[in-house]
Structure 1
Amino acid sequence: MHTATPAPGALISADIDFTAASLDVARRLIGITLLVDGVGGRIVETEAYDPEEPASHSFNGRTARNASLFGPPGCAYVYRSHGLHWCLNFVCRETGHAAGVLIRALEPTHGLDRMRERRGLDEPRLLCAGPGRVGQALAIDRSFDGLRLDEAPFALFAPPHGLPAPEVVTGPRIGISKAVDMPWRFGERNSRFLSKRFA
């Protein structure tokens, strides 16, 4: 059973339009704080996917594995990568379109002790640097698939008022064999918490 943990008062709920294109949502999420049962941090790296390009899980249509990717928008799509790691995605666009944003890396800010225990290491930079690491640090598994992002255990918060917006850079996505040149990976410039530096 998943339960919500109140977030610090300095944060405010993020108002994100998940009916927008995955490219827009992927960029907009940089700098947003993601908490799962009170554990998480600032999103510093994302990747966008759309069914019209062959790297997307929905390119070949709906299956039991990718059903949650078809909506509604604003829900989680969770899949297992290479049979090892659970990966967290946010569903975008209208119901049935099947676009999504992969959460690739966080800057850990909340629940670091719990993340260290789950990951079995102390180095903050490596706790959430990569989608599999994010899944492990946040204790994501298949039970999160299809859950709404605006309800427990998820919480999304905008940066505290007055902070400058992060500078976002783009580049090719990582770990795929199709549509490899599309610049659909987004990240916070010079963040040391990225899974891989941008060129």
Structure 2
Amino acid sequence: MNMTRNGISRRGLLAAFAATTVVAAPTFANAFGVLRGAGDIRRIRMYSGRTGESIDTIYWIEGQYINEAVKELNHFMRDWRNGQTISMDLRNLDIMTAAHRLLDVDEPYMLLSGYRSPQTNAMLRSRSGGVAKNSLHMKGQAADLRLKSRSVGQMARAASACSAGGVGSYSGSNFVHMDCGPVRTWGR
């Protein structure tokens, strides 16, 4: 594997270009889809240490989200504490997928937190100062992720390269927060 000093391969960068461009410039999504031609797919693989579940699905083919796959992802990314679901923001799935492609790994993400109900967020906030009162997790617009084969720094750089949302580095807890809110970074 040809890795750069940031842990992102040239092949991964090229593979992620299409998804990253669509995320960064959503107004051109339809036109860009036509220019890409056949073979445009978006696939995401994750597992949850909390529930023991895993998912490996293609959720986009040639400009169209696949409703059944999106429903499965919404269920997979549910608040595991109470089973509540929400329609996850598809832009965040695209950011996660683009960052994964940039990292050029076969390993699935470990999902630590996707959707959080307001009750769960309030409970976590009462236990930790690092939980935002108006967390994007409660809107289905964020995910906390980990990869065994990549460092927090490598994952954060890949997500930041998408220039499409927020990226938080939590080195002490070994995970990266990715969201589709305003472009910003925090942590180390």
Larger fraction in helix: 2
- TM-score above 0.5: no
